[in-house]
Amino acid sequence: MASVRLAAGRDVGAAIAAVVVAVLLAVQTGTSQGDARPLDVWGVALVVVAAGALAWRRAAPAVALAVSAAASAASLLAGYPYGPGLLCAAWAMFELAWRRPLRLSAPLAAAAAVTSVAAVLPRLVGVLDVPALGLVLWAACWLAAPWSLGALLQVRAVAERRARDDLMARAALEERIRISREVHDVAGHGFAVIAMQAGVALVVLDEQPEQVRASLEGIRAAATAALGDLRRVLDEREHRPRPTATPELAALVARARTAGLPVELTGDAGDLPAAAGDIVYQVVRESLTNVIRHAGPTGAVVDVAREPGGVLVTVTDRGTGAPQAGDGRGLAGLRERVEAAGGTFEAAGRDGGGFQVRARLPLPGQTA
């Protein structure tokens, strides 16, 4: 509310200044235009109205132009000096073109120009013998310039607004894609672990009740972890990378082991930067999920090691399950994340069976 009052005060102040300048110009031009009607109270009143209408140049530019143009036309028809009223109408026309769409400002500006020409025409015809076409061209040059400048600013503002909206829409789309991928990875890994634990429990249900208990506890742990990760993904407005990959990788490998997948964690990458650690975690999680889903009875080796200039994460299995068709959603998403971070990503079958995922990531502040 305070900002609205401040803007209104500025508009009124600008209009008062315009009134003072317009009246002074009218007095000066009246002395230099010998054929003009002497400026009296009514002439001053028309100048004041034409300039005072500019107080609404931002809040209601169409009204400001209509009042200013009408007062200016009345002044010209009455024989008062040229100049001040037309200048006020030109300013109002500029404001209208700047602040309103072209489809609205163009016809109103044209109407104001025609009104001005019609008002000045009786004073010129028969005195200077000026052709009507010349008057129309004169009015077009005089009044089209401020409208053109305002229209240029309007088009520019619209283009900037559209570019800003497109940028915001693109950012929102990218955020939705990121969240959907996170949900896919989290849910996919959790469901894969749960399915594997449930399968083990069904196999040993009658013969090994302790193993059934262990499988059920593994299912509970996997479900709890997956729900926690889903809650984190959905609650965060912004993506917050993990501070380090090392502790969470150990927990991730432990959950895979409880699901019945023998996993060996090798390498010593130490504490990784947040962004790189987050991507390493995602690569390992998605790769182990694929091993559980597709590789069949097998084990996996997860190796995370520092390299000159970066870190290399490798997930290898010797499974005998059906080969995956293409990258799949998970691997395609991993490839995009790794390459967006400036790294390289490879995922392919191995000679002799199995599958391998390799991702190299650069680390800030390190050179090869």
In this structure, is residue 69 part of a structural domain? yes
| Total domains, the chain | 2
Query: Is the residue at 173 inside a domain?
Result: no
Amino acid making up residue 68: S
8 A C-beta contact, residue 313 and residue 288: no
Whether residue 176 lies inside any domain: the answer is no
Per the CB < 8 A criterion, the answer to whether 78 and 122 are in contact is no
pLDDT in tens, the chain (368 residues): 555 566 667 777 777 887 777 777 777 776 666 666 777 788 778 888 888 788 888 888 888 888 888 888 888 777 777 777 778 888 888 888 888 888 888 888 888 877 877 777 776 665 555 454 555 555 556 667 888 888 888 888 888 888 777 767 776 676 676 667 667 666 666 666 666 666 666 666 666 667 666 666 666 666 666 666 666 666 654 455 554 556 678 888 887 777 677 888 888 777 788 778 888 888 888 888 788 776 666 788 899 988 888 889 999 887 765 545 445 566 787 888 888 888 899 988 887 778 889 999 988 766 55
**Contact predicate 199/215, CB 8 Å:** no
CATH number of domain containing 302? 3.30.565.10
Domain boundary among 70, 105, 130: 130
**Residue 123 falls within a domain, yes or no?**
yes
Is residue 207 a part of any domain in this protein?
no
Of 112, 130, 148, which residue is a domain's last?
130
> Do the domain assignments include residue 346?
yes
Domain of residue 294 covers 261-368
Q: Is residue 85 part of a domain?
A: yes
Q: Which two tokens stand for residue 268?
A: 């010593």
C-alpha distance from residue 224 to each of 63, 191, 229 (Å): 65, 11, 9
> What global pTM score does this model have?
0.49
Asked if the structure places residue 231 within a domain, the reply is no
Q: Which of residues 130, 156, 186 is at a domain's end?
A: 130
